[in-house]
Structure 1
Amino acid sequence: MSHRSVRLLVVDDDTVDRIAILRALRSGRVDAEIREADSVDSALAVLYEQQIDCVLLDFYLPGGDGLTVIEAARKAKLTAPFIMLTGQGDESLAVDLMKRGAADYVPKNLLTPERLVQSLRYVLRLNEAERREDEARRALARHANQLAQLTEATLRIHRSLSLNELIQRTTDEARALLDANVAVARLAARGVAQRSMTGISLSEEYAAREDRDSIREVAFGLIERRSTSVRLTGDEIASDPTCADVLSRAPSELHPRSLVAAPLRGRDGQSIGSILLLDRRDGPFVESDEVLLTQLAQSASVALENARLYNEAQAATRARDDLLAIVSHDLRNPLNTIAITASLLRSDLLQRKDGEEDDAVQLVDRMDRGIQRMTRLIEDLLDASRIEAGRLVVSPRVERGGALVREALEAAASLAEAKGCRVTQGPLDAGLEVLADRDRVLQVFSNLLGNALKFTPKGGVVSVSLCRVAGLARFSVADTGPGIPPEHQPHLFDRYWKAAQESRTGAGLGLYIARGIVEAHHGTVAVESTPGQGTTIHFSLPLAS
């Protein structure tokens, strides 16, 4: 799984289960250094004393549970990811633990070498991507504060996050600032991800010369050998050993009359390149020119490092999103296979029983409901990722607001009946037409109505109304549930947050996705709630006219 052994901690108080886990790791040919623990205390002792890459963690443990271990590790700033090993039927518990710090879970009844290796590979890659992203973002934040101190020339340099454009702007600004005929800047290569980059700027006089290409060659040759701050006259250039090789191959008319150079330095103080200027138009370069170029080089270094860090952060974000897409795809395919198999199995069972349902059919139906929940969770995760990245696409069309309300109520009727509640139509301005992506708005209704019914007691009522407010169409979903405490309301639309933390149903994404969809329509979402008096969630959409 990597070029070095993976350091794993297996935590389970059941010896048989631990042996099964170790056997699966060996069968999966996982190159690992394995530590074992059988309680909360022994697990934390290993985590505090040793460097662990990943923890395979059972939930039920002597001295506490898996959540105790996760919370203690996070409090100690330990970053090792956790894979929860759950019993059959503990899927909702595992999902809740993932929201509270676990990276993945594997049901013990499905523990195979292939499944365990797949989970380990996913968790370690995701952890590494997040680590790199966090490092890049923290480094970027440290250097962004320096931007306020830049001069007008520096501000122009900072307008781009493209390294190529920044190098060229730096040379143009340096030449103009010191009234030089030639400016050249070089950014050194860094690893395999970034090649060296060079920019050159010539004055109009030099750009019009027939030997301008030879001038460029001399400038490029000199900067390849110059990485420190220096200021030289023509005679000093001729006798400088670092310039001798370049000038020996150039005719005397191309020998510079004066030279000034300053290094570009990274955040660690190491050289990342340099800026070099030749032939000041009004005499040789003076000491103040060297100081000014050094200041410009320092600001340019900040801009170049910020651009580099920004590109690294973007690459880390893309890697995370790509990994999420791959994982979702890999989950969908087996789920589709299971769904098709379950459907065929149900049909076969009904044929054998002449259409009568028995326990076996009910088990298949339960399997099918689990598949549907997993499918919805995958879609929610993908929608949440699109919203976070600003890539959620909606296709608004003219829709009748009243028709959307009625369709949403019809879709929620069976769920309300199962809960012993009623869904009703409140005051409705049926003539309002809105610009809406019908399927996405119905998804908003489904999330809001499902959430309202979840917390409305038996015999309660959930109503949907529509009116015009401030030039917008405002839809309202009101329930007669227990209401939401004021301190919880600011978090209601946060990702993975649930109003009732004791509830383990759902992934806490419904309201987050609802808000994302509404905002993609250029609408707004608001909540009104008083404990003991129910909750109303309003969302507004643009009118068609």
Structure 2
Amino acid sequence: MQLEHPLGQDGNTEPLRILLIDDDEVDRMAARRALQATGIDTTLQEAMNTADGFAAAQHGDYDCILLDYNLPDGDGLTLLRKLRTAQIVTPVVMMTGQGDEELAVEMLHAGANDYLPKRKLKPEVLHHTLRSVMHIFQVESQRKAVQEQLAGTGARLQYLIDNSPAIIYSAVPSGDFKMTFVSENLLNVLGYEPHEMLDDMNFWIEHIHPDDRSALMQQLPRLLSNGGQQTHDYRFRHHDGHYLWMHDTMRLVCDKTGQPLELLGSLLDITERKKMEGALQQEKEEQQVLIQELHEAREQLLQNEKMAAIGQLAAGVAHEINNPIGYINSNLGTLKHYADNLIELTDLYQVAEMSFDGAHQEVLELIHSIKSRIDLDYIREDLPDLVRESQEGAERVRQIIQNLKEFSHVGEAEWQLADLHHGLDSTLNIVHNEIKYKAEICKEYGNLPQVECIASQINQVFMNILVNAAHAIEKQGTITLRTGCEDGEVWVQISDTGIGIPADKIKHIFEPFYTSKPVGVGTGLGLSLSYNIIKKHHGRLAVTSDVGTGTSFTVYLPIKRADEDQAEQSNTQPEEIPCGSGGDT
């Protein structure tokens, strides 16, 4: 039979290490025989007096001590007390030839783990005694270890709670929120002694900032009724009077039946974090403004570069095409003259045919055959039209190139006097292909003076609005251009009979990247850029719309450019957008 080693908690077994302290050789021999007969795997060391026994117990590592009561240099009871005083906790089984129960009780009180009369030193009794003593010792050792661990853990937890940056608290799970525990670090964080918060039922509520109190108190009943956890940020008054931002995490603890037991919470000072969040939010808003300005500047730069490229292309195309177009126009004029001469000659030939007599019948038949094959009458009618249409086409090419040059105003990025009617007409020619299949153009021009502006940018605004107007018309409609002048400013109104803009969208149409068009159609920058261009000209861009009826954009521009002081004071916001809406963006 094997007895598991008390320290072999990993499942391994080792011989049981036993110290036998007895001066009687016969008794020691009897103990050896009994141990051997138990079948327990043991290693045995012997001592014959208290001095040797104490030294062996002090320096050896034993699992059990068999101690005789009567020894030559003292009694076993005294040695037992000495062992326990020396913090030697090895299990001790006292052996004596006496059967005195009072002596047995005294031995157990002195620290013995069991008592065994020598007359009962039989293998089965010794086996049972050793197993019982070792089991009790193991259990007791584990209990003490757990107690020591719990005591250490408790001390550690108390240390952590008292030195944590978070204030730990508990409260009754009722509406009065009376505190039942507050950690000592309340003094370090908020300057109050814990008893101040514990003694005053209203302490916590009264020290919360008035502006934060009502919102917090509205949420607490929900926690108490529904359970779970809540977090709150609020300001709490410090002992010296200033407020600190606290992050409060509350959790309702319930028993197995769901009944509330306690409200646990932690308060963490987040004042610095709030300051950082405020600074970051301000920085973020400033960055958003800068990003917005960079976007607008970039888009305007790209648009300016695009317009410059168009102008340069137009200038280059005009230079390359003007000479061929000149040749074509010149040759078409000459061709028209030749055609007129040829037609006049054929007319004379036809008169001459009448004077031919019968002798020239074959010639006449040949002439008639050729006239019939080439359809001379149709040629005489169609040839002037062909020449005229060719002349008109060449003139159209020349006019398109000229419109491109005027639209982009190559080299004219400075403020100058411009004819807005001329700019509108040039822009209409540029976007003619976008409009011609969708809308009829109706012009109701008033009398406009020349306006001081950057003409290429104003033309760009006209183009954006005209293209939007064409896109807003689903089948066929009308785009009306009206102009006028009053109170030192001119206005240009472009109206369409399109689908209109809903009221919930019209307020967003001047925002960058906002578009009501399908994905892939438009960038959402046209009206935003237009608004900024008019704003930089110290004008206004207003819109009115009705769903299903159409939209009107009106550009207001001062006749004369405002100086810097006037520019800073100018009202650059668009006119109030009425509810009703229309036009595509």
Common topology (TM > 0.5): no
Asked which structure has the greater RCO (Cα within 8 Å, sep 6+), the reply is 1
User: Which is greater in Rg?
Assistant: 2
Q: TM-score, normalised by structure 2?
A: 0.27
Q: TM-score, normalised by structure 1?
A: 0.29
